[in-house]
Amino acid sequence: MGLDSGEVVLHAAGRCEDGYGGWAAVLTHGSHRRELNGSGTGVTSHRMALTAVVEGLTALTRPSRVRICVADETLHEKRAQRRPPDEPDLWQRLRPLLARHHVAWTEPGEWADEDDEDNEYGPAGEAGDYDEWAVEGPCDLAAELAFHQHRGEEVRAGAQSEENTLAVAVSRFLAERWDDMHAFEAADDVISTLRFSIGWYGDTPFTEMAPAEIVDELGAFFSSTLPHKQHASPHELRTAKRVVTDLLNWLVANGHVDADVARDRLEDIDITVDERALLKEFVDAFGGDDLVPWPDPSRWEDRVDCQYLTIAEVAGESLTFKDEDGHDEDDCPTVGPVPVRPEIAARARTGWRILLSAVRVRGQWRLVEVVSGDP
């Protein structure tokens, strides 16, 4: 069913990260448009999306026919079950609003497949296709801006502390970057992952560490957390290197870390990240055409199932892997030569350990899966 020019369309969006959230609602009716947004702490993306719906309906001054477009699976699921067990305060506000208005629910994308003739009216009441993204773009942006504003307030509050801890130093570092939204979010994302890494591998909580102790935690961060727990892309690895470089230089400039210690660590990070980015690009280069599905077991002559093997030889259109982890030759024989595209062979480096699966049929080894690797 197409949109009616008398119908109010409510686009709602919510965003949350580490308990800091933002919400936004965009109301359109004919040529009229209104945008609302806000933020919260200790929240979830679901709560922020639900808040956007409630605030959007509350803003309507008279009973209306409303189509609500919100990308929140939890909200649609709870609504379908007719038993909202979570966020009782918001559901208590939502129920009378739903009774007041004639509401239809939809998710983003549901209008995209409708025929042109069904989309009789656009948001301005004009004939033509209805472009939902023209509304959702500002809606999502408003939610992002609300989140950014709230996160900035939290960071600046943390920066006021007099404690000499890594957490306070990082808050001050981030606070200086808040005016540049993209730089701030890139740094905040990397440092959030660094917090996780320290919590996973470190002996001292992030909030209790002295600023200088960060140097000892960066090895595990770049060699294990990013490549194996976060499955970081080459771009994400290089972004993390840039943020950590800026952070270490800031800590040196503010007297928290020795300059020589930081320089040595940054040299190690350069080597580690560059090598891992190249290795990740090698792993990502394998596509569906480069791999084969597992054949019927009756055809197997040999196989390797999700095991680390070392690249021993690189030829123009093939690779040979060997087991260098102490397994018996009979337990894990040489795998190869395995045919690969020249573009993949050109990326390969001998000595890299690759987590892979392979099978030999009719004397020919073929790769079934290439998962990850270590330099």
How many Cβ atoms are within 10 Å of 182's Cβ, its own excluded? 9
Strand ranges (E), 42-82: 65-70
pLDDT the model gives residue 328: 52
- pLDDT tens sequence across 313-339: 999 999 999 987 655 555 556 898 999
Per-residue pLDDT tens over the stretch 237-294: 999 999 999 999 999 999 999 999 999 999 999 999 999 999 999 999 998 888 999 9
Residue 170: name the closest of 238, 90, 242, 250 by CA: 250
- pLDDT tens digits along 130-168: 455 556 667 777 778 888 888 888 899 999 999 999 999
Mean pLDDT of 71-91: 80
Triad 111, 116, 121: Cα angle to 5°: 75
13: which strand partners?
24
173-226 residue pLDDT tens: 999 999 888 899 899 999 999 999 999 988 889 999 999 999 999 999 999 999
pLDDT at position 131, please?
Answer: 52
Q: Per-residue pLDDT averaged across 100-129, rounded? A: 54
Q: In terms of Cα–Cα distance, which of 20, 98, 94, 99 is closest to 51?
A: 94
Q: How many residues in the chain?
A: 375
What confidence score (pLDDT) does residue 111 get?
42
Enter the tokens of residue 255. Answer: 């007297």
Strand order in the sheet with 302-315: 335-339, 318-322, 302-315, 353-361, 364-374
Average pLDDT of the chain is 86
Number of Cβ within 10 Å of residue 245's Cβ equals: 16
Q: How confident is the model at residue 375 (pLDDT cuts 50, 70, 90)?
A: confident
Looking at residue 271, its pLDDT comes to 92
Higher pLDDT, 126 or 202: 202
* Sequence letter at residue 138: P
Straight-line distance from the first to the last Cα atom of the chain, in angstroms, rounded to the nearest whole number: 56
The residue among 301 and 73 whose pLDDT is bigger is 301
Residue 79 reports pLDDT greater than 80 = no
Lowest mean pLDDT among 8-22, 32-46, 76-90: 76-90
Contacts of 169 (CB under 8 A, 6+ apart): 211, 251, 254, 256
pLDDT at 1: 37
> Is the pLDDT assigned to residue 354 strictly greater than 50?
yes
pLDDT > 90 fraction of the chain, expressed in percent and rounded? 61
3-state SS class at 28? strand
pLDDT for 319? 96
pLDDT of residue 121: 29
**Mean pLDDT of all residues in 45-53:** 92
Average pLDDT over residues 41-60: 92
Note the maximum CA span of the chain.
Answer: 79
The DSSP code for 3 is P
What is the Cα 65 distance to its own chain's centre? 36
**342 is written with which tokens?**
């020249």
Rounded Cα gap, residues 162 and 170, in angstroms: 13
